Amino acid sequence: MDTPSQGSEIGNRGSEATVINSEPRVIVALDFSNPMHALALAHRLDPRECAVKVGKELFVTAGPEPVRWLVDRGFNVFLDLKFHDIPNTAASACAAAARLGVWMIDVHASGGRAMLRAARDAVDAAASGAARTPPMLIAVTVLTSLDDADLREIGHASGAKAEALQLARLARDCDLDGVVCSAHEASALRTACGPVFRLVTPGIRLAESAQDDQARIVTPEAAVRAGADFIVIGRPITQAADPLATLAEINRTLAKVKKGRA
């Protein structure tokens, strides 16, 4: 079942991709310990104004039912479970996610070529078996909570930017649709991976909001100017005094921003 807001943005591999201006750029991260709070917020959101992201906390607590509910309500749902496992296991999980009718799923690029290829094939086969458009399959490069010192500590000496670039190239080689990356790397990744490759950037903070645990933060406008296609925003919206007004203000600001293309 295609959701009303999906349009032709999905199934966007290759040069035939077109960007639909009305597609929401903001993905609201529904990160709540109580699933009812996540669904209560989603109930107030308009699928034309934002996509939504279901992460590990909501999925582990409440399972796939909230995902189905969100898909049925017309939301573009990013199921952010960041799979990273042996190829067969990661691919099976991706296939199961694709059958839920979500719009976007992700795996860790550091799972390697065989895992990325297996995930790609499994998503396409599952979507075709269910007569659905495949969800965008994107790869996490470097978590935006990690800075260069954190990376050195876990044996990655090249630094966040170089590592993100290397992982993004691998993901593109394996036919993934895009990557999750910091907006700090978006411009370099855009140059390296071309105009069709989707860049999804978390680590977004409004000028006035707290940094929380995000180390490499950027404002929504700066992220889109740097080339981000979609921006993931959690706490600055979900914890705002008025989440809907905050989202509306971000959308108003973004409507004036021309996306950067290196």
> Could you list the residues that contact ligand C5P (CB under 6 A)?
29, 31, 55, 140, 143-144, 180, 202-204, 212, 214, 232-236
The distance of closest approach from Cβ of residue 15 to ligand C5P in the complex, given in angstroms and rounded to an integer, is: 27
Closest residue to ligand C5P using C-beta atoms: 234
The distance of closest approach from Cβ of residue 155 to ligand C5P in the complex, given in angstroms and rounded to an integer, is: 19
82 counts as catalytic: yes
Residues whose CB is less than 8 angstroms from the CB of residue 132 and which lie 6 or more positions away in sequence, other chains included: 1, 2, 98, 99, 101
Q: What is the DSSP letter of 7?
A: G
The distance of closest approach from Cβ of residue 131 to ligand C5P in the complex, given in angstroms and rounded to an integer, is: 30
* Active-site residue (options: 53, 56, 82, 256): 82
Report the alpha-carbon distance of residue 106 to residue 78 in Å, rounded. 8
Identity of residue 212: D
The distance of closest approach from Cβ of residue 238 to ligand C5P in the complex, given in angstroms and rounded to an integer, is: 7
> Helix, strand or coil for residue 4?
coil
Please choose, from the candidates 6, 45, 41, the residue with its C-alpha nearest in 3D space to the C-alpha of residue 22.
6
Please choose, from the candidates 245, 197, 253, 193, the residue with its C-alpha nearest in 3D space to the C-alpha of residue 225.
253
Residues whose CB is less than 8 angstroms from the CB of residue 38 and which lie 6 or more positions away in sequence, other chains included: 30, 31, 32, 54, 58, 66
Closest to ligand C5P by CB, 9 or 31: 31
3-state SS of 79-132?
Answer: EEEEECCCHHHHHHHHHHHHHCCCCEEEEEHHHCHHHHHHHHHHHHHHHHHCCC
The distance of closest approach from Cβ of residue 8 to ligand C5P in the complex, given in angstroms and rounded to an integer, is: 26
- Write out the two tokens for 249: 């203000």
Report the alpha-carbon distance of residue 7 to residue 23 in Å, rounded. 8
Catalytic center residues = 82
